[in-house]
């Protein structure tokens, strides 16, 4: 058994060691003869390059913005329609029996699998990409909202009934506030999923955006560009998750035991 002091020092060392190992493995892979993998240095300079020099009339920040904008537009629609649908599924038994099977039929189809059909329908403009993101974010929101509504503590509903609330009042005063944490969880999943969908859609057909950029890199063998894009995509993804978690803490303070 190591002494506590030594053990602690080791614990600080390990994360550093792991990142170092990652870098070393990367450099080794890149340094192989004829390897297509770019070195960290090459990646960094390519990153700086694309920050300044545009491809397809846009520099990297603009491409990121183009992708994000598509996600955000689709997202607003997905939240409005998704929450409404999820609430209706969970609150109204008749509606649920009637419409849910159709939803269940379409649900297992991965959003990416919709791309060919959507392109056939809407061509290769902005709308098809936004529509794909919509499909990808819509599903998790509906599912989470539905799940949230159906798992409300029945005692809270009972108490509301005892206080004289009618069905509509129960929906707005009890059910919806109680479901907000679940809706937010759905939104988190949906945003991540939406981001992936936009990349996928852009990889298949686009003139701008991060997905387009990564395919450009592939077509021109510009691996440094590909890796740059991969890292950028990852960073944006992480930032989205982070922001949403913060938002969750603000909107649902009672969930996290915040005291005044």
Q: Which of residues 51-80 bind another protein (CB under 8 A)?
A: none
- Binding region for another protein (CB under 8 A) out of 44-52, 77-85, 117-125, 140-148: 117-125
Among the listed residues 56, 97, 151, 245, the single contact to another protein using CB under 8 A: 97
Say if CB 124 and CB 205 are below 8 A apart.
yes
Assess 229 for contact with another protein (CB under 8 A): yes
**195 makes contact with another protein (CB under 8 A):** yes
Q: What is the DSSP letter of 166?
A: -
Task: Please state the closest distance from residue 82 (CB atom) to another protein, in A.
Answer: 18
Stretch that binds another protein, among 42-50, 69-77, 139-147, 224-232 (CB under 8 A): 224-232
Q: How far is the CB of 86 from another protein (least distance, A)?
A: 17
Residue 4 touches another protein, criterion: CB under 8 A: no
Q: Which of 31, 98, 167, 207 binds another protein (CB under 8 A)?
A: 98
- Contact segment (CB under 8 A) with another protein among 7-15, 69-77, 126-134, 142-150 equals 7-15
**Number of residues assigned to the chain:** 260
Whole-angstrom distance, CA of residue 80 vs CA of residue 86: 10
- Helix 176-204 to helix 223-251 angle (10° resolution) is 170
Which residues have a Cβ under 8 Å from the Cβ of 31 and sit 6 or more positions away? 39
Farthest-apart Cα atoms in the chain, separation: 77
Alpha carbon separation from 252 to 140, 147, 223 (Å, rounded): 20, 18, 44
The count of other CB atoms within 10 Å of the CB of residue 251 is 12
Task: Scan residues 199-218 and list those touching another protein (CB under 8 A).
Answer: 199-200, 203-204, 214-215, 217-218
Place of tokens 């590909």: 226
DSSP 3-state of 221: coil
To another protein, the closest distance from the beta carbon of 63 in angstroms equals 14
**Residue list 145-174, contact with another protein (CB under 8 A):** 155-156, 158-166, 169, 173-174
């Amino acid at each position: 058994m190591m002494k506590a002091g030594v053990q602690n020092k080791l614990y600080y060392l390990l994360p550093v060691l792991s990142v170092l190992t990652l870098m070393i493995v990367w450099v080794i892979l890149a340094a192989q003869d004829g390897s297509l993998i770019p070195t960290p240095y090459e990646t960094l300079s390519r990153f700086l390059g694309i920050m300044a020099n545009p491809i397809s009339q846009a520099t990297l920040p603009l491409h990121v913005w183009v992708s994000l904008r598509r996600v955000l537009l689709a997202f607003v629609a997905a939240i409005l329609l998704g929450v409404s649908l999820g609430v209706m599924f969970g609150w109204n038994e008749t509606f649920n029996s009637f419409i849910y099977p159709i939803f269940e039929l379409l649900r297992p189809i991965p959003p990416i699998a919709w791309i060919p059909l959507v392109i056939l329908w809407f061509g290769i403009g902005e709308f098809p990409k936004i529509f794909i993101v919509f499909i990808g974010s819509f599903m998790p929101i509906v599912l989470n909202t539905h799940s949230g509504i159906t798992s409300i503590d029945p005692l809270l509903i009972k108490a509301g009934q005892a206080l004289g609330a009618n069905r509509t009042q129960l929906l707005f005063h009890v059910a919806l506030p109680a479901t907000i944490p679940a809706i937010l969880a759905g939104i988190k999943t949906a945003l991540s999923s939406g981001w992936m969908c936009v990349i996928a859609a852009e990889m298949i057909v686009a003139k701008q955006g991060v997905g387009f950029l990564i395919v450009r890199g592939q077509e021109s063998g510009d691996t440094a560009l590909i890796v740059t894009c991969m890292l950028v995509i990852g960073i944006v993804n992480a930032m989205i998750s982070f922001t949403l978690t913060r938002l969750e803490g603000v909107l649902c303070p009672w969930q996290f035991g915040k005291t005044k």
